Structure 1
C-alpha cells in the first residue's frame, strides 16, 4: 500500500556537505525520499501523513558500523580489564549462560537504546541470531546481521558454517529489506586458516559480504607474526577473505603495508574509539587510513565494552581524539566525523549508495533533534553543534523507511516496560 509522508522542519542536514540553516521539508513516498526543498512544501497535501516540526533539525539517521547488540545484557560485567582477560574471564563464561530468549530481549534493549539516541541502522555479530533478527524485525530498525563464528576445531567451525548458511537463507532481505546479512568469522585468533578460507568460499556462494575483527590489540598482532609470519590483515588476505567484500572492525595496530593492503582490496573499516580506549587497545590511525582513501565508518562495539550505544559520543570522540593524538586541530573536522557516522558508516556496512544522506532517492531513515535545546544556542554552524555539542538527549523523533520509531521522545514500536522487566529477570539468572 502506497504511503506518502511530508516532514516540515526548522533546519536540515542532507549530508556533511549539504546543510540548510533554514526551514525545509522532506517528501517521502513508499519509504524513499522523493523530494527535499527549502521553505514550505508547495504541492498538494491530500493523502499525506504530515509531521510538522518547526523547531527540529532533520539529519540522516546514525549508522552504527560495529557492535554486538545483545551484549547490553553484560553491561558493566567486566570493566577495567584488558581485552583478552575481559573476553576469557568475563565475557565467554557469561555468554555461555545466555539463551535464545535472553538474546531476543538483550537485542530489544539495544534497539530501544539506539532508537532513543538517533541510530537508525546497526550491524551485529553475535550468536543465536534468529532471536536477534526477530527483535530487529519488531523494532522497525534497519540492521546488517551476522552469526558470529568461533572455533578452533573442525566440529565447531563446521557448525558455524551451517548456522550461518541457515541464518542467511532465512533472514537476508526480510522485514521489507530492512534486514540484510553478512558472514561473521570472529577473528583470525578464534578461527583457523582453513575456516577463514571456507568463509570466503561461502561468501562467494551466497553473495554476501564478511565482517571480522582485525588487529584490535598489539598482542593479537604479535601472536599473528609469531604463528603465521604476517600481520592479522596480511593473514586474512592470504586466507582469501579479501577476495570478497569485507568490513574490518577496529584495525588499531596497522602498518603502512596493512593500510595499502586494505585499500588494494577496498576493505572497509569500522572505527570504535571508545571501546578501544576503554579496553586499553590503543588508537587506530584513522587519519592515515582516510588520507590513503579507505572508507572508515564509526561503531560503538558492544555495550559490555563501551558501555553505551550512543553514536553521538563516538562522533564527538572521533572528532577530538585524533586531534589530541596528532596534536593537529584539523585532523578530523566536524564534517568528516559527521560523514563517518552516517554515509561512510552506511558504505562500510554495504548499504546502497545514498544511504546515510537525506537526498532524493535515499531511504527515508531520519533523526530529528530539538533546536530549542541548549546545545543549539547559539547556532553558527549546524554541523559543529551536532558533532561537538549535541547528544542523545536532543533526539526527539526517529524514522526508518519513513515510518516512526520514536515520536516526541516516546518509542512507538517497543514495549519498554516489558523489555525492562525481562532484562531484570535475565540479570537475576546471570547473578545466580
Structure 2
C-alpha cells in the first residue's frame, strides 16, 4: 500500500472536492482504498509506504487525449528548406518524411522517451496516435511495450492514410485491428486500442468504408478533423460537403470517437458533433506552432459539445497545455474572461469522462474504487485556495509548479523527482543514439 499525505487533496469529486491536510491511500490492487485526514489514515494503515506531499497538491493523474509519441525523436531535427507554407506542406516536408524512415527500434525508443516525459509531467493515461510507414506491422506492440516499462495506461492506434499506397493502407487498418484484439486479451485495464485515421484529405471513401468494416464494435475512431483550412476546402471541392458531414455519413463519428483539432468548422458541423456525442480534442500549442488557427472553444461550450485537451505530440505537460489553451482562447476571442470555466473543465473533467469511455476503472478522480493514479504537484499557494478558485490557481501555477511524484495503478513511477520506473540516463542515451540514426535515414 502507498499513502500520499500532508497535502491538499484535490479529489475532483463533487461530494468532497478538497481535503486540507489530507491523505490518499492506494491498495495493492491498484485502486484507491481511502481518503481522509493524514493522521487518521496513518493510524489506520501504519504499514503503508508514505509519500509526503509537503503541503503541495495531491491530485488525480493527468490524461492526454491526443499525443504523437513518435514526434519525440524529431526534436531538434532541422526542417528541409523549401517545404512551403501550410500544414499539408509541413506534413510532407517533415512528418511524413520522418514516419517513412522509421523502423521498429525508432518506434520503441521514441515512445519510451515520450512516456518518460509523461511520468515527469504527471500524465498517467495517454491516447497515442501513431504513424511509422517504414514499419507498420508490430509498431503498436512496441509502443505498448514502452508504456508497460514506464508504467502508463495507454490507448493506442495507428494512423490509416492513403498517402503511402493501398498495400500500406491495408496494413495500417490490420495493425489497428490486431492491436485492439491484443489489448482486449490483456484484461488488466491498462491498455486499449482504437481505429486511427489521419484526416479526410488523405482518406478516400473506400478507405473510410474499409476502416469501419474492420472496426470491432467495442472500439472507436481517433482522427484529425478540420485541423487546417486545406482539409475543409478539399472536402467541399471533392465531396461537396464538409469534413464533419462526410465523416458522419460514413459512420465515423460517435460516442467512441476522438476528433482532434476541429478548427475550421461551421455551425452545422458543431451541431453534428453534439448530436453524435463525438469528443473534440483541443491541441492549442500545436495549432499555434503549425499556424493552423484557433478552435472556438467558447462556441463548443455554447453548443454543449464535449471538449477535451491533448498535446498533439508537441509536449507531455498537460498543465502547460491548459495554460496555452487559456492564453490562446483569450487572445483569439479578444475577451480576457474567455475560457476560464471551459478549459479547466476540459482537462480535469471531460478528459476523464472521455477516457472512461474506453477504460472501465474510474479515472481522473480520487475516491474509493477509482484508479490509483495519483500525482503530487509542488504548489503551495501564496493566497487562499478553495474549491471555488482551485482552477484559477492551477492556471497560474502551470509552467512553474513541478510534479514531484507520479503513481499509476498503485505503482510509484516517480518519487520526490526521482524516476523509479526506468533507468533515465540509459533510456535517454538510447533515444539519442536512435534519433541520430533515424535522422541520417530521414536526410539520406
TM superposition score normalised by structure 1: 0.91
2:69 corresponds to: 69
After superposition, the C-alpha distances for 1:71-120 in whole angstroms (9 at most, x for unaligned) are: 10012436696311111011111222211011101101001111111111
Measure, in 1, the Cα distance between the counterparts of 2:39 and 2:343.
Answer: 30
SS class of match (2:253): helix
Measure, in 2, the Cα distance between the counterparts of 1:241 and 1:392.
Answer: 39
The one of 158, 162, 173 equivalent to 1:161 is 173
Give the C-alpha shift of residue 155 in structure 1.
2.8
Give the C-alpha shift of residue 393 in structure 1.
5.3
Q: Judge which range, 191-200 or 35-44, deviates more.
A: 35-44
Give the C-alpha shift of residue 180 in structure 1.
1.2
TM superposition score normalised by structure 2: 0.88
Instruction: Please show how residues 20-59 of structure 1 align to structure 2 within 5 Å.
Output: 20=18, 22-29=20-27, 30-42=29-41, 44-59=44-59
Answer yes or no: is the 8 Å Cα contact 2:63–2:352 preserved in 1.
Answer: yes
1:341 corresponds to: 347
Give the C-alpha shift of residue 173 in structure 1.
5.8
Measure, in 1, the Cα distance between the counterparts of 2:298 and 2:192.
Answer: 30
Give the C-alpha shift of residue 344 in structure 1.
1.1
Measure, in 1, the Cα distance between the counterparts of 2:117 and 2:169.
Answer: 32
The one of 11, 14, 18 equivalent to 1:14 is 11
Unaligned segments of structure 2, at least 5 residues: 132-138
**Change in 2 beyond 3 A, CA 1:309/1:292:** same
Give the C-alpha shift of residue 28 in structure 1.
2.1
Q: Judge which range, 58-67 or 341-350, deviates more.
A: 341-350
Give the C-alpha shift of residue 422 in structure 1.
1.4
Answer yes or no: is the 8 Å Cα contact 2:58–2:377 preserved in 1.
Answer: yes
Measure, in 2, the Cα distance between the counterparts of 1:407 and 1:270.
Answer: 30
Measure, in 2, the Cα distance between the counterparts of 1:344 and 1:184.
Answer: 21
Q: Judge which range, 215-224 or 235-244, deviates more.
A: 235-244
Answer yes or no: is the 8 Å Cα contact 2:255–2:279 preserved in 1.
Answer: no
* Match status 1:185 vs 2:183: no
* Match status 1:400 vs 2:408: yes
Measure, in 2, the Cα distance between the counterparts of 1:244 and 1:149.
Answer: 20
Measure, in 2, the Cα distance between the counterparts of 1:82 and 1:392.
Answer: 33
Measure, in 2, the Cα distance between the counterparts of 1:183 and 1:423.
Answer: 27
Measure, in 1, the Cα distance between the counterparts of 2:45 and 2:59.
Answer: 23
* Match status 1:145 vs 2:140: no
